[in-house]
Amino acid sequence: MRDITSEKTTHPVLIFWIIAGWVGFCLLPWYGVEDFWHLEWFVNGWPVDTDYAPAVFLLVQREKLWLAPLLPALIAPLLVLRRRKTDPVFAKVLLAAGGFGFAWLTAQGLGIGIRGWNADWLQALFGPLGDRQYGMGYGALVAASAFLFLFTQGIAARGAINGDVFVTGAIGGVIAVVTIFVFFPIAKLMVAAFVTEEGSYSVLTFLGKFFDDRIWGLGCLTGTRCGVAWNSLFLAVLVGVLTTLLGLVFALVLTRSGFRFKTGLRALTVLPIITPPFVIGLAIILLFGLSGAATTWVADLIGVRPTRWVYGLPGILIAQVLAFTPIAFLVLIGVVEGVSPSMEEAAQTLRADRWQTFRTVSLPLMRPGLANAFLLGFIESMADFGNPLVLGGNYDVLSTEIFFAIVGAQYDQGRAAVLAIVLLGFTLAAFYVQRFWLGRKSYTTVTGKGDAGVHPEMPRGLAIPVYVVAGLWATFTVVIYGMILYGSVVQLWGVDNTLTFKHYLTAFSIRLEDGGIRWTGSAWDSFWTTMLIATVAAPLTAAVGLVTAYLLTRQDFAGKRSFEFGTMLSFAIPGTVIGVSYILAFNVPPIEITGTGLILVISFIFRNMPVGVRAGIASMSQLDRSLDESSLTLGANSWQTFRRVILPLLRPAILAALVYSFVRAMTAISAVIFLVSARYDMATSYIIGRVENNDYGLAIAYSTALIFVMLAAVGLLQLLVGRTKIGRRLAHEQGGA
């Protein structure tokens, strides 16, 4: 069957991309147009007006002549349309045309900017240009995609990855976007680490900043303070271990116990992830701070002066464990559910008792989940910014230091870049330790062979401590959220406790007039923007993440390791650094998107994609390859296999990715604060403004409203995506309920 497909002389995918290339070059405006979707450009002088003209009309008017070399690259693929895929000329022409087109497009974009030549040596080589160009628009975007996919089809035609057009295209696409939106901005920022005060470059400057005592000092062993690097590392390891343990506890209670209130517990574990920043911190201060309810109560009880014990490591630890346990839980629940009961049943048939089964079969099979959960907790803690800011006291960590190196009283981009490198070093080290620990073992248990059985319950010796921990944690979460809800309906939190709804009214009032609704509340603007951006970003994030996970677990290709590294990179870098590097990279042509909603969407996609990747990898490494193979043998291509076989089995991972990216788009702050603009203000930056202005009531009321909106959204997503139906488990649950 394979042979027949490759002997065909019609290539629908090729035709599609050739047409796309021509559309981009001849019909769409080549350069960026403000408010593209209002289509005003269409009636305002298109296609002749040079602001809105497609590339071909520019060339006809003898403008932007450096775009001309793209024409032969568009014409060449037309010549091989009638040829066979196995014909060496077919592959060669596509490779040359796509490769040259893409390279030329990139080179001219980087080489020529708003002030003519971008580099002095170009000026020296070719003389003054006397012309300039702005940021690329949809025409350039579509043409660039066309060149890229022509190139990958060339690679496929040469026989790479069994000539699979979908897989080569996916690899090429992911590499291109990750390079543009992760490597490029980070590289721009990293260069700053080597810039001296005079503006030249020096390794000595870097070394001087790197081996600073404020980063690596070990003073805490002798009574003074330790460097920020050690503080961050210690905190992140603690948070990683604790969140993984707690996540596992909740996952076990939900899948392997007869616990009655599973839905309630599930909702409770999701709550912290959908809480806007600062709110948990504020609640913890009101509970455990110097004048906090719990602190004063205990102090009265044992007759001592209240202290500021919560500021520093204890406070950050409580807040982060509360905030990041849900992430560990979301990763682990998929994995714990995915361990096939057949294995456990086999162990029990061989006379292992429940405890032995759990320790020697279930737990080792959960290793990929445990490792991924730890990694996520570790990285999240490293990059977290809101909690250390509110609760850190004098316990400095890398993420806040980076933020204040950039926005603080001394604008020191070099120091920020050096601190970012340290942070990156830690997260990458964690990444490699995790891989080493997982080793080359196989964790596959769900295979194509019939999956029978139900999960056994936990052994009793494990069940009791698990129940106690889950119970305590659940109570604590309820108390914290009770306080938040209460805080949104009192006049002035902590001072004047009269009940009132005025905060909600200020934020969300509406007025009916002239048969329409007027959104008069102060929060509506940022609310609708946030909803829009979160709704656009979530499915894109999930898609990019899962396709990447599929490539990483299912396909072998050269450079896979660096590919994996690249996709994880953006997650390991705190949002602050992403925010600043995005401004540096995308405020100038060729890609000029600051001040738009697009830059927010893109920053969310690439910051949250790694969660989709990790969740996808964790789930996919449990699905036996024989499933794909049988699908392929039966004549499906890899795209069909991905869509019909793997995707349905990945529902927990899809849900995790969708929920996480939607929620993150609504609650993230550190990158956002640099990227919001007057027209695209986000809920979190609005809330921070309220907190800065002492308007705690409004901030908490807004946050509470957001929590309910996100709960509804998560419920809706769960309904839309549906559950995985593996084996008889669902039937059992329904029967058991």
Q: Which residues bind another protein (CB under 8 A)?
A: 40, 43-45, 114-115, 214, 219, 223-225, 285-286, 289-291, 308, 311, 389, 393-394, 400, 403-404, 406-411, 491-492, 494-496, 580, 583-584, 587-588, 592, 594-595, 673-674, 676-679, 681, 689-690, 692-694
Q: How far apart are CA 646 and CA 649, in angstroms?
A: 5
Between 47 and 727, CB nearer to another protein: 47
Between 18 and 397, CB nearer to another protein: 397
Between 249 and 391, CB nearer to another protein: 391
Give the shortest CB-404-to-another protein separation in angstroms: 4
Give the shortest CB-217-to-another protein separation in angstroms: 9
Give the shortest CB-294-to-another protein separation in angstroms: 14
Task: Count CB atoms within 10 A of the CB of residue 270.
Answer: 18
Strand 516-518 versus strand 112-113 pairing type: unpaired
Between 127 and 223, CB nearer to another protein: 223
Secondary structure (DSSP) of 284-303: HHHHHSTT-HHHHHHHHHHT
Secondary structure (DSSP) of 60-78: HTT-SGGGTTHHHHHHHHH
Where do the H-state alpha helices sit in 454-523?
A: 460-487, 502-508
Give the shortest CB-281-to-another protein separation in angstroms: 12
Give the shortest CB-232-to-another protein separation in angstroms: 15
Between 305 and 460, CB nearer to another protein: 305
Closest CA to 569 of 530, 605, 607: 607
Q: Please calculate the CA angle 612-484-289 and round it to the nearest 5 degrees.
A: 105
Element at 497 (helix H, strand E):
strand 496-499
Q: How far apart are CA 250 and CA 245, in angstroms?
A: 9
Between 200 and 394, CB nearer to another protein: 394
Q: Which residue has the tokens 């296609």?
A: 47
* 3-class DSSP state of 446: strand
Between 226 and 645, CB nearer to another protein: 226
DSSP state of 49: S
Give the shortest CB-536-to-another protein separation in angstroms: 21
Cis status of the peptide bond prior to 272, with omega within 30 of 0 = no
Q: How far apart are CA 496 and CA 403, in angstroms?
A: 34
Between 394 and 734, CB nearer to another protein: 394
Q: Is the dihedral of CA 267, 268, 269, 274 positive or negative?
A: positive
Between 374 and 680, CB nearer to another protein: 680
Give the shortest CB-389-to-another protein separation in angstroms: 6
Give the shortest CB-56-to-another protein separation in angstroms: 22
Give the shortest CB-285-to-another protein separation in angstroms: 7
Between 175 and 397, CB nearer to another protein: 397
Give the shortest CB-601-to-another protein separation in angstroms: 18
Q: Environment class of residue 361 by beta-carbon count within 10 Å: exposed (0-12), middle (13-18) or buried (19+)?
A: buried
CA 470, distance to chain mean position in Å, is: 28
Q: How far apart are CA 207 and CA 707, in angstroms?
A: 45
* 3-class DSSP state of 116: strand
DSSP state of 36: G
Q: Are 653 and 542 in contact, with CB atoms under 8 Å apart?
A: no
